[in-house]
Amino acid sequence: MASLDADRTSGTGTPVTTTPGGSPPPLTADAAALRAFLDGRYAAVRDDVRQRLVEHAGILDEGADLPREELQRRVRDLVVEIGSTGQAAQGFPSTYGGGGDIGASIASFETLAYGDLSVLVKSGVQFGLFGGAVLHLGTERHHEAYLADIVSARTLGCFAMTETGHGSNVQALGTIARHDPDTDELVVTTPDDDARKDYIGNAARDGDLAVVFAQLEVGGVGRGVHAVLVPLRRDGEVLPGVRIEDCGAKLGLEGVDNGRIWFDDVRVPRDNLLDRFATIDADGTYRSSIDNPDRRFFTMLGTLVQGRVSIAGAGVGASKVALDIAVRYALRRRQFEATSGDEETLLLDYGMHQRRLLPLLARTYALSAAQEEVARQLHEVFSQDTPEADDRARRALESRAAGTKALTTWHATATIQECREACGGAGYLSANRFAALKADTDVFTTFEGDNHVLLQLVAKGLLTDYSSEFEDLDQFGMVRFVAGLAVDTVVERTNAHQLLERIRDVLPGGRERWDQEAGLLDPDYQLAMFRFREEHLVAGAARRLKAGVDAGTPAGQVFSRVQDHVIAAARAHVERLVLEAFVSRVRALPPGETREVLTALSDLHALTTIEADRGWFLEHGRLSAPRSKAITREVSAILRRLRPVAIELVEAFGIPAEVRGARELVG
């Protein structure tokens, strides 16, 4: 096996200059330069949000003590103020008071996650979900009538999709919107309690208007799920035919007024149908530009992808807050025997503490790069210059947004927990923010789609590469489709021999055994490992789906048995996209200390990901036992290199001290 020194290469694949002792030189870091890397093109937008967070930082201290109703009023007032300042309008057309820049709106939302998360979520409901639905599902008459008031928060609204009996399975919603030709109205009805709208933000006390997703019936024919504008309140009073209940106390986000809604034959004008993709003419004729009802449904939902991108950004933002606190605490708190002098040892000088926090820090940087790439794609697909993106770009965005949301929100949950533990008993005090961070972000893993369901959507996207027919299939259609697919074609794409040849082509010294001789710190080697795992798992999932159906097993049972393989393949795919995004961003930097630090973070992220799944790589012949041990040694070496620049790495997040709080922990 190659020596450890031979494994040292930079983010470009070229050797790293070493000291006479064989070790790479110490790292130095400029927090401002790292912050510029993280903030990207929207640094000014992020700075504006930071300033406003400082102005309203008091809610972080007040939130734990205010009665629930008073807290909800306080949060509502802040959301209304956000609307009045134009801070939430970046993603809306300038015609209606917006900035016409979707990327700016995502950057703003991510930075807003540094502050009170009830304000973040209520803002997301108002401007992202409710406003986004009117923007993307409505047409000009809806825009003219509502958008200016929504953007300014003069009209507060709800996104009424989820039902008690149907969450992720939106296509089977039970609420009905029946066209009455005699009055030319839509009659909105909740047929039973399973069809009541549930967990709806802004519903319990503040929402005046709702975008209601319902099964549209025209001329006695079901046309599938469509969105209808339904008034809920006038002058604060709930309207006749509408019944609303508060969902009650929750695990977190108590500043958000989640409620349940029933409709008892509520009549609204026909024009309240948000009809970008389908309309009802004055004579009662249903028309749609998309004939296939399944394709129409998925196209409609695809326009709402911004919600998932926003939640992913919020997960990244919350992770940064937790790490900022925990790393600062570890650089202040001393414990146990002193290594020199009379003082005890700082927590972050312990190897295990570095192992706990620094890989999470590296993954946060990687996910930030991945999130920036998703936001860039979102901006391109939905920019005002290209209102109708091509299908392939739209599908790629939907898949990437779903997968990134899953990984970032799972990462937030794990990171906040680890950081809380790393701060000991002090981290358990409400004043030090972890209680709120844990409680308020826990729902992110199921917001905008359960993460496991979202990874199934990613898997569907992977198989879509083999046939466009697959785009509109549900999980059972997925099984039937793969059963008829020439799975040998899928397997051929991931043939181990061919893949190995491709990997050798991109590695220095490709004639040697790549799993022994390639540099551990070569990003091409790291990406090759991620690609091999992804393509092997995709082929394996397809093979298992086909084998199950060929054996005569019912489609539902086949999918259930293979579901873990499907999700593993999707997760491996997204992990590869994350690493590619980070490596690409780092490679684009000019040589210098900032690039060196970020290269070390990229290496740490890649190697700890391989290390965490070393069992799989060993089983599939991509790691030898000595190579596996060398990765662990290299990880430890990178941790030691990053330790001196840990404070700059969290200072780069740009979290104002007034917002960070946790004064008992960080001083």
Residue ending a domain, among 102, 124, 155, is 155
Q: Name the least confident of 245-249, 265-269, 508-512.
A: 508-512
pLDDT at 627 (0 to 100): 94
For residue range 408-425, list pLDDT tens digits in order: 999 999 999 999 999 999
- Do the bridges between strand 286-288 and strand 334-335 make them parallel or antiparallel, or are there none, so unpaired? unpaired
CATH number, residue 88: 1.10.540.10
pLDDT at 509 over 50: no
Instruction: Report, as an integer, the average pLDDT of 306-334.
Output: 95
More confident residue, 126 or 94: 126
pLDDT at position 485: 45
What is the mean pLDDT of the segment spanning 473-501? Answer: 48
Which token pair is 467?
A: 């046939």
| 523-550 vs 451-464: helix crossing angle, rounded to 10 | 90
Q: How many residues does the chain have?
A: 667
Do 493 and 604 fall into the same domain?
Answer: yes
The yes-or-no verdict on residue 8 having pLDDT over 60 is no
Q: Are residues 151 and 163 in the same domain?
A: no
* Same domain for 562 and 640: yes
Q: How many CA atoms lie within 13 A of 602 on its CB side?
A: 32
Statement: residue 341 has pLDDT above 70: no
Query: 581 with 37: CB under 8 angstroms?
Result: no
In DSSP terms, which residues pair with 334 in a beta bridge? 346
Examine the pLDDT at 483 and tell me if it is beyond 70. Answer: no
The percent of residues above 70 in pLDDT, for the chain, comes to 86
Which residues make Cβ contacts (< 8 Å) with residue 499, sequence separation at least 6?
A: 531, 532, 535, 536
For the chain, what is the domain count? 3
Secondary structure (H, E, C), 593-658 = HHHHHHHHHHHHHHHHHHHHCHHHHHHCCCCCHHHHHHHHHHHHHHHHHHHHHHHHHHHCCCCCHH
pLDDT given at position 611: 98
Flag whether 660 is in a domain.
no
Tell me: pLDDT of 5 over 80. Answer: no
In angstroms, rounded to a whole number, what is the distance separating the alpha carbons of residues 202 and 246?
A: 10
102: buried, middle or exposed (CB in 10 Å: 19+, 13-18, 0-12)? buried
pLDDT in tens, 139-172: 999 999 999 999 999 999 999 999 999 877 889 9
* Three-state secondary structure of 366-386: HHHHHHHHHHHHHHHHHCCCC
> Would you say the pTM of this structure is higher than 0.85?
yes
* pLDDT band per the 50, 70, 90 thresholds, residue 467: very low
The CATH number of whichever domain residue 197 belongs to comes to 2.40.110.10
Give the active site residue among 448, 471, 517, 534.
Answer: 448
- Three-state SS for 143-184 is HHHHHHHHHCCCCCEEEECCECCCCCCHHHCCCEEEEECCCC
Claim to verify: residue 363 and residue 494 sit in the same structural domain: yes
Of the pLDDT bands very low, low, confident and very high (cuts 50, 70, 90), residue 476 is low
Decide if pLDDT at 395 tops 90.
no
User: What is the pLDDT at residue 468?
Assistant: 40
Q: Is residue 126 part of a domain?
A: yes
At residue 291, the 3 state secondary structure works out as: coil
Tell me: do 476 and 381 sit in the same domain: yes
486 and 599 share one domain: yes
Query: Does 17 map to a domain?
Result: no
Q: Is there a domain that residue 13 lies in?
A: no
Mean pLDDT over the full length of the chain: 87
Question: For residue 215, what is the enclosing H or E element?
Answer: strand 209-218
Strand partners, 244: 261
pLDDT score of 501 more than 70: no
298 or 493, which is more confident?
298
Classify the C-alpha dihedral 661-662-664-665 as positive or negative: negative
List, in order, residues 6 or more apart from 413 with CB less than 8 Å away.
441, 442, 444, 445
pLDDT at 184 over 90: yes
Residue in this structure with the two tokens 């949000």, named with its chain if needed: 49
Residue 515: predicted pLDDT: 54
pLDDT per residue over 223-257, tens digit each?
Answer: 999 999 999 999 999 999 999 999 999 999 999 99
190 and 91 housed in the same domain: no
Asked whether residue 510 falls in the same domain as residue 524, the answer is yes
Q: For residues 136 and 268, state if they share a domain.
A: no
Quick check: 465 pLDDT over 60? no
Structural domain includes residue 174: yes
Looking at this protein, which amino acid is placed at residue 310? S
Q: Judge if 482 and 556 occupy the same domain.
A: yes
Token duo for residue 285: 């004729």
Dihedral sign for Cα 430, 434, 439, 441, please.
positive
Q: DSSP letter at 125? A: I
Q: Which of 296, 331, 346 is the last residue of a domain?
A: 296
CATH number at residue 440: 1.20.140.10
516 pLDDT band (50/70/90 cuts)?
low
Give start and end residues of each alpha helix (H) in 280-390: 293-302, 306-330, 351-382
Determine the pLDDT at residue 469. Answer: 39
Could you tell me if 56 and 180 lie in one domain? no
Q: Name, in order, each residue with C-beta under 8 angstroms of 364's C-beta and a sequence gap of 6 or more.
A: 316, 319, 320, 323, 411, 415
Please provide residue 148's backbone torsions phi and psi, each rounded to the nearest 5 degrees: -60, -40
| Poorest-pLDDT segment among 279-283, 426-430, 442-446, 590-594 | 426-430
Listed in sequence order, the residues at least 6 apart from 325 whose beta carbon sits closer than 8 Å to its beta carbon are 419, 423, 427, 432, 433, 434, 660, 662, 665, 666
Domain presence at residue 27: no
Note whether 647 and 666 are within 8 A (CB). no
Q: Domain end: 135, 155, 175, which one?
A: 155
As a whole number of angstroms, the distance between CA 13 and CA 488 comes to 35
Position 651 confidence tier, pLDDT thresholds 50, 70, 90: very high
Q: What is the pLDDT of residues 591-602, one digit of tens each?
A: 999 999 999 999
Domain range for residue 400?
306-651
Q: Is 448 a catalytic residue?
A: yes
User: Is a pLDDT exceeding 50 seen at residue 581?
Assistant: yes
| CA 234 remoteness from chain centre | 35
**Shared domain check, 174 and 66:** no
Residue 62, pLDDT > 90, answer: no
474 has pLDDT over 70: no
162 exposed, middle or buried (CB, 10 Å; 0-12, 13-18, 19+)? middle
Lowest mean pLDDT among 119-133, 430-444, 514-528: 514-528
Residue 658 lies in a domain: no
In a domain, 170, yes or no: yes
Distance in angstroms (rounded) separating the CA atoms of residues 623 and 627: 6
Average pLDDT estimate for 392-419 = 94
Amino acid letter, 127:
F
SS3 (DSSP) at 343: coil
